[in-house]
């Protein structure tokens, strides 16, 4: 039995298996097994009313989980799956309440990572998987992150290297007429509009707890995090030195002043590589045990929307 077959066996036995996706690592359980799904909530320390995304091997599985599937969903699935887009659809009866948080909708996606797809095909069903971190903490983008945080709670962690997208999928609600983005991600409103012919509503500010990623103070390091404009960075460095506070910076601009109290991590200048490295960078800076993490505020443009959303929540 190879590792994928073993992982699928464990899922069938109601165990938790962490696996890589292109966005972040997921903490997986058999989505049709309410007891297995309950273990996810226990491992994460996550409130019960927060719904989970069901990961599928391909779009042909959608109708096993959703009803009244609109044409828009078929088009988007054809355009973006496998990939970082989650569709919220009306749930079929029989989908466990533990998955949907008792709502009449279900979140579905086909992830774009070869190991995830191998696992899902071998399992041949839906795998419920939130990000494999403790509730409210930074999502994991390597197998080591998962080991560090949830190692004891999972039967197996599949190692698929570092995640290529690095932040969670775009969540698009198609369950209530007008399409609406509940959580921005690297699949933008504009690229969804290219497929649907109209811009979706919303910019990721849905009400909690329908989308736990929409809670303020999410994706947060333990060290207090602050966003500072590029103009304010030199002042922030001086301030850290004057107040004798060890401070970590994540910035695309070069370090202006060198000092033993200052750790300076260079950030990529483009949104995709910035997102790819973001959570690993935050974990690294968090582990330094500084008094503060200061992140240079990226440009306030559409291309940076998803990154800005995660930074704003990490700072909350």
Instruction: Please tell me the distance from the alpha carbon of residue 36 to that of residue 13, in angstroms, as a whole number.
Output: 8
Instruction: Please tell me the distance from the alpha carbon of residue 194 to that of residue 76, in angstroms, as a whole number.
Output: 10
* Closest separation in Å from C-beta 274 to ligand TXA: 17
* Closest separation in Å from C-beta 149 to Mg ion: 12
Helix (H) or strand (E) holding 7: helix 3-12
Among 31, 38, 93, residue whose Cα is nearest residue 56: 31
* Closest separation in Å from C-beta 199 to ligand TXA: 20
Which residues within the stretch 22-51 sit at the binding site for ligand TXA (CB under 6 A)? 23-24, 26, 50-51
- Please choose which of Mg ion, ligand TXA, none residue 259 contacts, taking the beta carbon within 5 to 8 angstroms, the exact cut-off set by kind: none
Q: At what angle do helices 71-80 and 189-196 cross, to 10 degrees?
A: 120
Among 73, 125, 72, 133, residue whose Cα is nearest residue 99: 125
Determine the number of helices (DSSP H) and then strands (DSSP E) in the chain: 11, 13
User: Pattern 57-86, binding to ligand TXA, x per CB under 6 A?
Assistant: ---------------------------x-x
* Closest separation in Å from C-beta 50 to Mg ion: 9
- Told to check if 141 binds Mg ion by CB under 5 A, we report no
C-alpha torsion sign, points 307, 29, 146, 246? positive
Instruction: Please tell me the distance from the alpha carbon of residue 96 to that of residue 228, in angstroms, as a whole number.
Output: 44
- Told to check if 131 binds Mg ion by CB under 5 A, we report yes
Q: Between 131 and 170, whose beta carbon lies closer to Mg ion?
A: 131
Q: Between 185 and 228, whose beta carbon lies closer to Mg ion?
A: 185
Q: Which stretch binds Mg ion (CB under 5 A): 55-63, 94-102, 129-137, 174-182?
A: 129-137
Judge if the upstream peptide bond of residue 209 is cis by omega within 30 degrees of 0: yes
Q: Quick check: helix, strand or coil at residue 221?
A: coil
Which residues within the stretch 269-288 sit at the binding site for ligand TXA (CB under 6 A)? none
Tokens representing 38? 């309950």
In the list 171, 186, 307, 314, the residue contacting ligand TXA (rule: CB under 6 A) is 171
- Give the single-character DSSP code of 138: P
Instruction: Please tell me the distance from the alpha carbon of residue 107 to that of residue 82, in angstroms, as a whole number.
Output: 15
Q: Which stretch binds Mg ion (CB under 5 A): 58-66, 123-131, 185-193, 298-306?
A: 123-131
Q: Between 211 and 308, whose beta carbon lies closer to ligand TXA?
A: 211
- Told to check if 100 binds Mg ion by CB under 5 A, we report no
**Binding interface with ligand TXA (CB under 6 A):** 21, 23-24, 26, 50-53, 84, 86, 88, 100, 103, 105-107, 111, 129-131, 168-169, 171, 182, 210-213
**Binding interface with Mg ion (CB under 5 A):** 131
């Amino acid at each position: 039995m190879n590792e994928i077959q073993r992982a699928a066996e464990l899922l069938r036995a109601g165990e938790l298996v962490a696996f890589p996706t292109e966005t972040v690592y997921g903490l997986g359980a058999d989505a049709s097994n309410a007891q297995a799904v309950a273990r996810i909530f226990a491992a994460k320390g996550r409130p019960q009313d927060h719904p989970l995304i069901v990961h599928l091997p391909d779009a042909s599985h959608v109708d096993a989980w959703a009803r009244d599937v609109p044409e828009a969903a078929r088009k988007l699935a054809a355009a973006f799956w496998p990939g970082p887009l989650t569709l919220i659809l009306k749930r079929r009866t029989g989908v466990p309440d533990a998955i949907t948080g008792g709502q009449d909708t279900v979140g579905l996606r086909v992830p774009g990572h070869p190991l995830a797809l191998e696992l899902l095909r071998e399992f041949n069903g839906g795998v419920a998987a939130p990000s494999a971190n403790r509730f409210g903490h930074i999502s994991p983008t390597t197998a080591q992150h998962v080991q560090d945080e949830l190692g004891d709670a999972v039967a197996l962690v599949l190692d698929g290297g570092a995640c290529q997208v690095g932040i969670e999928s775009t969540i698009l609600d198609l369950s209530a007429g007008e399409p609406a983005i509940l959580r921005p991600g690297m699949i933008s409103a504009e690229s969804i509009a290219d497929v649907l012919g109209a811009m979706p509503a919303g910019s990721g500010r849905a009400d909690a707890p329908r989308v736990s990623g929409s809670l303020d103070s999410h994706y947060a390091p333990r060290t207090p995090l602050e966003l500072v404009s590029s103009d304010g960075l030199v002042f922030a460095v001086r301030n850290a030195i004057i107040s004798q506070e060890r401070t970590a910076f994540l910035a695309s601009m070069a370090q202006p002043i060198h000092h033993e109290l200052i750790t300076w991590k260079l950030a990529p200048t483009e949104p995709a590589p910035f997102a790819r490295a973001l959570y690993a960078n935050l974990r690294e800076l968090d582990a330094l045990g500084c008094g503060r993490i200061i992140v240079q505020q990226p440009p306030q443009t559409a291309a940076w929307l998803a990154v800005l959303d995660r930074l704003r929540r990490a700072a909350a």
